Structure 1
Amino acid sequence: MSPAVVLVGMFLVLAFTGVPIAFCLAVASVVTTWYMGFPAVVVAQRIATGLQSFPLIAIPLFVLAGSIMAKGGVARRIVDFAYIIVGPFRGGLAMVNCIQSMLFGGVSGSAIADISSTGPIMIPMMKQKGYDNEFATALTVASATQGIIIPPSHNMIIYAMAAGGVSVGQLFLAGYIPGIMIGIGLMITSFIIAVKRGYPREKRPPLNDCVRISVDGILAVLAAVIIVGGIAFGIFTATEASAIAVVYATFLGLFVYKELKLRDLWPILVESVKTISTVLFLIASASAFAWLLTRLQVPTMIMRSMLSITSSPIILLLLINILLVILGMLMDVAPLIVITTPILLPVVTAAGMSPVTFGIVLLLNLGIGLTTPPVGTGLFVGCSVGHTTVEKTSRAMVAFWPAMIIVLLLTTFIPALTTFLPSLIVK
């Protein structure tokens, strides 16, 4: 039996029996190395090597910064800021949900952080104004996917490493236009549904309140400007930017908004460590798995197989998108990035797609996967926050998938959407 069959087969068997993905990857790697006659220490070495990267330090720091912002009042102020911008339109609260995800995603870099932080604010508020609970929950989950597209995104850092050194600054800039397009697409969908169902408009606050809310909101969004601008213009690296994000978030929470107390920092650190440990273990296990895939020439075999199906770049890219959406429905974002990047990157580059564009296309696909059963993490977190079921929310989610898929296809076949900003700023 081929070692590649053992590796993939063992992974699938463990995954379908409910074993956590990180353990599936690690156990499948150990069993395969044993089957090939290699010592098991090889896997341990590859796991350790997978974490020996300076840019990886940015991931725990960005996670910590997002947690501090969520607890320090940033989320609520971004919601209030979005309320001023789009509240007066028909279905204004639905649009507020989209805008705040766009802004908070650009600060926290995490879809799950967005759902967990702003979901408890937005969903009850929308229900109180007459919105259906399932609609509010589905929109919260769908709009939160902007968090992995609009920088700073720790998933972009994972992709940059898996792709062999793609510029993090270019990836950050490349995510802006597709991320904003998702927000606009969801806002248009929300407006259509709001008109059909008669959802209300909202009143804009008095001028004095608008000014105060705008100042607080701009201070919160300024974090993203500092981080991305500093990286794009070469002022500091992504790792240094993540440390600055932590300091800035702590300063806002403690001294500006004054909703964060010193005693709150320890629970935030503990919770962040739990999240970081999970992410890093996934990355480490996936690194060993991906190393074996490469050694067994699985990427080469898949590339040849896909190129033998069709010579049309359009059909090839459509097939890859379909594959990624399906995989996103079954696995979490981080391990999929590490596993699929070395396999599919040679295929898409052969079809004429740049590594930067593929990174955004990959994240768009996996973002859609976050909103789908059976393993969509964002969907499950949203249902927990909204106190509803996956079945009901999935039915409501159907209305938002077309907008997300349209943005995915436009990004796939119009490279300028991802290359314009990087070519303009990063030299």
Structure 2
Amino acid sequence: MDGAVQGKVSIFSWLNENFEKIFMVAGILAITLFITWQVVYRYIITQFIERAGAAVWTEELSRYIFIWISYLALSVAIKKRSSIRVDIIYDKLPERLQAISWIVVETLFLVLTLVIAYFGYGQIERLLTYPQYTTALRIPFLIPYLILPFGFGLMALRLLQRIYGQIRVCGLLDSLIGLGVTLIILSPWYFVDYMDPLPVLFGYFALLCVIGVPIAISLGLATLSTIICSQTLPIEYMAQVCFTSIDSFPIMAIPFFIAAGEYMGAGGLSKRLLALADEIVGGLYGGIGLTAVVTCMFFGAISGSGPATVAAIGALTIPAMVERGYDKFFAAALVAAAGCVGVMIPPSNPFVVYGVSAQVSIGDLFLSGIVPGLMTGGVLMLYCYFYARKKGWRGEQKTRSMASLGNAAWEAKWALVVPIIVLGGIYGGVMTPTEAAAVAAFYGLIVGIFLYREMDFKQVCASCVTACETSSIIIVLMAMATLFGNIMTIEDVPGTIARWMLSITESKFIILLLINILLLIVGVFMEALAAIVILTPILLPVVTGVGVSPLHFGVIMVVNLAIGFLTPPVGVNLFVASGVAQAKIERIAVAVLPMILLMLLVLAIITYCPSVPLMLVS
């Protein structure tokens, strides 16, 4: 009897830990296969079967699965407390206040999830009364919309579990203090009949960010507060926008690119690219450092993620540099800086987010990022070379020849095909960015499992979960930013700021200088993707007003915010490099300063010489 009870408890514990992950793994693999099939069907099947028609169901079904796994993955992020947030104040608090702050943060998060779950259920009731069906598969809209009450209800459950655990850590008194602070923050909802929308919107957003609420949730709660205090929109609108804002085929490129990087990294890509880069530049002064930069450029052309590049390449190159006598802090700083190239050279998740936000061609943005990425990689390599020469750090002395280079290139051949698939597919007009990303992810699976044979079932599942979790944080951020942006549009915030800046000066040079300074400051405190979705609708009217194209501005914004990956307290590349090198982040931040100055020089060139970043765009 006891054994049966124990078995039930262990099954319950396993489900509690892995319930969402089952859907995430199945979902990301399914949509990868569906979109890959869409491409194969269009270009191969239709060539052999007359009247084959179009596989329109693949895109429709994939979009709805994508929405489901994005919100389910957020539940996993809640359990791990992995989110994009500003934690400057949090880091300086004593341990007791840090524990209390989690009560405040997670209770506020819970309020938002309960509101969206409640009004999401209202959407279900409406669809039960007035049934609607999808275009291709004639699925009742009720089914995809179930994610609102189900997904946000599950988030609420996970938050309650976290809050309960935190109450046990804090004790009754501190928990009551945390709940009291939460009630004070929300008190205007009950005691104020009407407030002007903009002070509520920006006031709540700033307050919530400062106290450590995840930026996406801060956006959602600030919008909810404005709706309650200012009656700007119906509150039911929030649940609907949480669905419609991410029901977008272009946005699906984000999880696919992240998945491709995860699959190829787990499948043995990194060490093969490293061996190839070592053959190219490893014999020079600073050889292993130069190798690290080149490998980051290769890997960035697959993963599209700065932190992922630092983690994958840094784990191999930083210990190797230290072993060869390099300063540990220089080694970590160099890899952290080189990781920034990963968001410039296509594919690039920030370019995807900007393209969706600004309605600019993602393919053109990818092309425009190539030159800035190569320039940044070039200046970092030059700095590494001369600094290593000054210190006497030589590359590994071994025989390098055309034969050894050919062997290394042959070993890395399957990895080198990925950029060809992505860029060739997009610019050859064969695939959309989302289709290219899905095919790259599918190819990464095949390479890792069958060609390199370094991925097993467990690693595949872990890579799928990581890809879903990482992308879900970005996707939810975009959904909440849409809500926030709609309030700003109603109140004409972008137009007001544009008119104000243009009233000060109409000089393109000065306005671009001011915007660059603003973005550099924002990059110090806010993660790049969050800054893009919040600031694009505000700043785009300003720059277009002085004749800057949205395409050029996208490059300026992404390169600018990429520097934010290196600036504490939100410099995620620094944090990753610090963890890999087991080195103090303060020392790494000092070592990276000359590299930041060189990147600022690249930023100045691409800002004031638009022909440089746009030279590849027809």
Q: TM-score range by the shorter chain?
A: over 0.9
Query: 1:229: how far off?
Result: 1.5
Task: Please give the alpha-carbon distance, in whole angstroms, between the structure 1 residues aligned to 2:578 and 2:487.
Answer: 37
Of 407, 411, 414 in structure 2, the residue corresponding to residue 219 of structure 1 is 414
SS of the residue corresponding to residue 245 of structure 2 reads helix
Q: State whether structure 2 residue 323 is matched by structure 1 residue 128.
A: yes
Q: 2:375 aligns to what?
A: 181
Q: State whether structure 2 residue 429 is matched by structure 1 residue 234.
A: yes
Matches within 5 A, 1:27-426: 27-37=221-231, 38-164=233-359, 166-207=360-401, 208-423=403-618
Which residue identity lines up with residue 423 of structure 2 in the other structure? Answer: V
Larger Rg: 2
Task: Please give the alpha-carbon distance, in whole angstroms, between the structure 2 residues aligned to 1:170 and 1:34.
Answer: 41
Task: Please give the alpha-carbon distance, in whole angstroms, between the structure 1 residues aligned to 2:199 and 2:336.
Answer: 36
SS of the residue corresponding to residue 612 of structure 2 reads helix
Identical counterparts, % of pairs: 40
Contact 1:84 1:205 in 2 (8 A): no
Which residue identity lines up with residue 587 of structure 2 in the other structure? Answer: K
Query: 1:107: how far off?
Result: 1.1
Query: 1:185: how far off?
Result: 0.7
Aligned length: 422
Query: 1:204: how far off?
Result: 4.5
Contact 2:257 2:302 in 1 (8 A): no
SS of the residue corresponding to residue 440 of structure 2 reads helix
Deviations 1:378-403 (Å, cap 9, x if unpaired)? 22122111111221111011010111
Of 205-214 and 121-130, more deviation after overlay is shown by 205-214
Query: 1:216: how far off?
Result: 2.4
Deviations 1:25-83 (Å, cap 9, x if unpaired)? 11111101112213322222233222111111111111111110111111111111111
Q: 2:88 aligns to what?
A: none
Return 5+ residue gaps in structure 1 as ranges.
none
Return 5+ residue gaps in structure 2 as ranges.
1-194
Query: 1:88: how far off?
Result: 1.1
Which residue identity lines up with residue 202 of structure 2 in the other structure? Answer: V
SS of the residue corresponding to residue 416 of structure 1 reads coil
Task: Please give the alpha-carbon distance, in whole angstroms, between the structure 2 residues aligned to 1:282 and 1:204.
Answer: 49
Task: Please give the alpha-carbon distance, in whole angstroms, between the structure 2 residues aligned to 1:87 and 1:289.
Answer: 49
Q: CA, structure 1 residues 40+198, in 2 after alignment: closer, same or farther (shift >3 Å)? A: same
SS of the residue corresponding to residue 613 of structure 2 reads helix
Contact 2:196 2:230 in 1 (8 A): no
SS of the residue corresponding to residue 417 of structure 1 reads coil
Query: 1:206: how far off?
Result: 4.9
Aligned Cα RMSD in Å? Answer: 1.4
Contact 1:72 1:257 in 2 (8 A): yes
Which structure would you say has the larger RCO, counting Cα contacts within 8 Å and 6 or more residues apart?
Answer: 1
Task: Please give the alpha-carbon distance, in whole angstroms, between the structure 1 residues aligned to 2:524 and 2:243.
Answer: 28
Task: Please give the alpha-carbon distance, in whole angstroms, between the structure 1 residues aligned to 2:240 and 2:285.
Answer: 57
Task: Please give the alpha-carbon distance, in whole angstroms, between the structure 2 residues aligned to 1:191 and 1:200.
Answer: 9
Task: Please give the alpha-carbon distance, in whole angstroms, between the structure 2 residues aligned to 1:177 and 1:52.
Answer: 32
Contact 1:356 1:418 in 2 (8 A): no
Task: Please give the alpha-carbon distance, in whole angstroms, between the structure 1 residues aligned to 2:242 and 2:529.
Answer: 15
SS of the residue corresponding to residue 6 of structure 1 reads helix
Deviations 1:277-303 (Å, cap 9, x if unpaired)? 212111111121122222211111111
Q: 1:26 aligns to what?
A: 220
TM-score by length of 2: 0.67
Which residue identity lines up with residue 208 of structure 2 in the other structure? Answer: L
Contact 2:274 2:295 in 1 (8 A): yes
Which residue identity lines up with residue 608 of structure 2 in the other structure? Answer: F
Matches within 5 A, 1:6-17: 6-17=200-211
